[in-house]
């Protein structure tokens, strides 16, 4: 009944990746950019886009070397069984943390804008149970839902900040590269860990049904659809508030939409639409992470019908998500998770090099191609 023989189309795979990479953390990114490099945030974003495309290319190549295997199987083929299992277990722990981070930050966004008086615990549980219901349906319904959410919610999230056009002061983004390029490069590497879902191809690639030609469109499509909203959000936030004020705000990406004042539109609070779109994306993000966690756990413990394992992830994710006591602690928590993710990417990059040295080459035909 729960056998994982579902397949998804390339479009659904792209939508899943877009949803996970365009994380709720993007709402806090303008502040991190402003703190680290001031007006050069746009340059770091450009570098981050190139880095993300490069990493995605590596993971897709690595995944297509063993098209019928998931991430644990791939790592075991390259590094041997114990090492592969160990790295898979580390990823499971890391993504439990990532899922908890998404849950906690998502609840923070909802609490700050819509449900001020509802206890965070209740909102977290509701989010997680909704996501659990979705994740247990399997990857194909997840893919279909992700396509809808990516189209609808991402458009709202990308377009609404454009309404601040009248308040933007583009001089806030100057001077350019005043302190040299080194701080920008350092910040780019530091922020690479924020791109939490980049490893998804290693897990979902065996389930993707599509022609090789379609798969070639993966990287341009994902990078374009993530980079454009991310650029809009970050640049407009920095241009409206300026680097100094942005670095003082908790969620500048949310504040920038809250600052929109347009007497001509007959909507009382535009933030409601914006947060609604973000809530949908957070819910989808959690569903995908729960599903992926069950896949990794299933691979680790050789359970072919691994979808029911999502249920057991919920209490663990909830308990981890409640560890940070306040918003400041959540910030540190997400920083540590980002660093750990960045370090893990470095390890997997090393594995990719080992695979190339050992002579493994990508195979054209996958299980479902």
Residues near another protein, by CB under 8 A:
1-3, 121, 125, 301, 303-305, 308, 311-312, 314-315, 318-319, 322-323
In the complex with another protein, which residue's Cβ is closer, 29 or 297? 297
Query: What CA–CA distance (Å, rounded) separates 210 from 14?
Result: 12
Task: Give min distance, CB of 138 to another protein, in A.
Answer: 13
Task: Give min distance, CB of 112 to another protein, in A.
Answer: 21
Query: What CA–CA distance (Å, rounded) separates 77 from 73?
Result: 6
In the complex with another protein, which residue's Cβ is closer, 6 or 35? 6
In the complex with another protein, which residue's Cβ is closer, 178 or 304? 304
Beta bridge partners of 8: 208
Beta bridge partners of 9: 209
Task: Give min distance, CB of 93 to another protein, in A.
Answer: 18
In the complex with another protein, which residue's Cβ is closer, 185 or 316? 316
Task: Give min distance, CB of 101 to another protein, in A.
Answer: 16
Q: Any idea how long the chain is? A: 369
Beta bridge partners of 208: 8
With CA atoms as reference, report the closest residue to 108 among 308, 330, 297: 330
With CA atoms as reference, report the closest residue to 72 among 87, 61, 59, 62: 87
- 164 close to 236: Cβ distance less than 8 angstroms: yes
In the complex with another protein, which residue's Cβ is closer, 259 or 311? 311
In the complex with another protein, which residue's Cβ is closer, 221 or 314? 314
Query: What CA–CA distance (Å, rounded) separates 190 from 140?
Result: 34
Task: Give min distance, CB of 316 to another protein, in A.
Answer: 10
Task: Give min distance, CB of 305 to another protein, in A.
Answer: 5
In the complex with another protein, which residue's Cβ is closer, 245 or 311? 311
Query: What CA–CA distance (Å, rounded) separates 170 from 39?
Result: 10
- 49 close to 250: Cβ distance less than 8 angstroms: no
In the complex with another protein, which residue's Cβ is closer, 9 or 311? 311
Output the DSSP codes for 101-170: HHHHHHHHHHHHHT-SSS-HHHHHHHHHHHHHHHHTT-HHHHHHHHHHHHHHHHHHHHHGGGGGGGG--G
Task: Give min distance, CB of 66 to another protein, in A.
Answer: 23
Only one residue has tokens 């650029």, namely: 231
In the complex with another protein, which residue's Cβ is closer, 312 or 332? 312
- 229 close to 21: Cβ distance less than 8 angstroms: no
Task: Give min distance, CB of 196 to another protein, in A.
Answer: 24
User: Quick one: tokens of 126?
Assistant: 């509701």
Output the DSSP codes for 191-248: HGGG-GGGGHHHHHGGGEE--HHHHHTHHHHHHHHHHHHHHHHHHHHHHHHHHHHHTT
Q: E strands along the chain, which residues?
A: 8-9, 208-209
φ, ψ (nearest 5 deg) of residue 208: -85, 125
Task: Give min distance, CB of 163 to another protein, in A.
Answer: 40
């Amino acid at each position: 009944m729960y056998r994982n023989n579902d397949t998804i189309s390339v479009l659904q795979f792209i939508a899943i990746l877009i949803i996970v990479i365009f994380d709720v953390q993007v709402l806090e990114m303008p502040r991190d950019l402003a703190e680290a490099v001031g007006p050069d945030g746009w340059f770091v974003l450009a570098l981050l886009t190139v880095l993300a495309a490069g990493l995605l290319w590596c993971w897709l190549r690595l995944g297509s070397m063993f098209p019928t295997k998931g991430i644990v199987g791939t790592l075991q083929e390259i590094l041997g069984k114990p090492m592969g299992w160990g790295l898979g277990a580390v990823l499971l722990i890391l993504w439990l943390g990532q899922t908890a981070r998404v849950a906690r930050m998502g609840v923070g966004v909802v609490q700050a804008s819509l449900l001020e008086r509802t206890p965070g615990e209740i909102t977290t549980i509701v989010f997680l149970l909704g996501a659990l219901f979705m994740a247990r349906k399997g990857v194909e319904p997840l893919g279909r839902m992700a396509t809808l959410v990516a189209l609808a919610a991402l458009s709202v999230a990308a377009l609404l900040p454009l309404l601040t056009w009248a308040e933007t002061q583009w001089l806030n983004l100057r001077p350019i590269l005043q302190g040299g390029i080194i701080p920008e490069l350092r910040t780019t590497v530091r922020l690479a860990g924020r791109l939490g879902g980049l490893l998804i191809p290693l897990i979902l690639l065996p389930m993707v049904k599509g022609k090789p030609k379609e798969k070639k469109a993966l990287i341009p499509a994902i990078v374009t659809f993530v980079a454009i909203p991310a650029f809009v959000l970050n640049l407009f936030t920095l241009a409206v508030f300026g680097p100094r004020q942005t670095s003082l705000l908790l969620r500048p990406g949310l504040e920038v939409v809250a600052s929109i004042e347009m007497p001509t539109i007959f909507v009382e609070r535009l933030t409601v639409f914006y947060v609604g779109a973000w809530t949908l994306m957070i819910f989808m993000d959690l569903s995908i992470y729960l599903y992926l966690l069950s896949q990794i756990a299933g691979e680790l413990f050789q359970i072919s019908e691994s979808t029911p394992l999502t249920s057991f992830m919920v209490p663990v994710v909830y308990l981890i998500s409640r560890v940070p006591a306040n918003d400041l602690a959540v910030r540190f928590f997400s920083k540590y998770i980002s660093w750990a993710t960045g370090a893990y990417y470095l390890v997997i990059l090393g594995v990719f090099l080992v695979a190339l040295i050992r002579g493994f080459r990508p195979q054209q035909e996958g299980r479902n191609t």
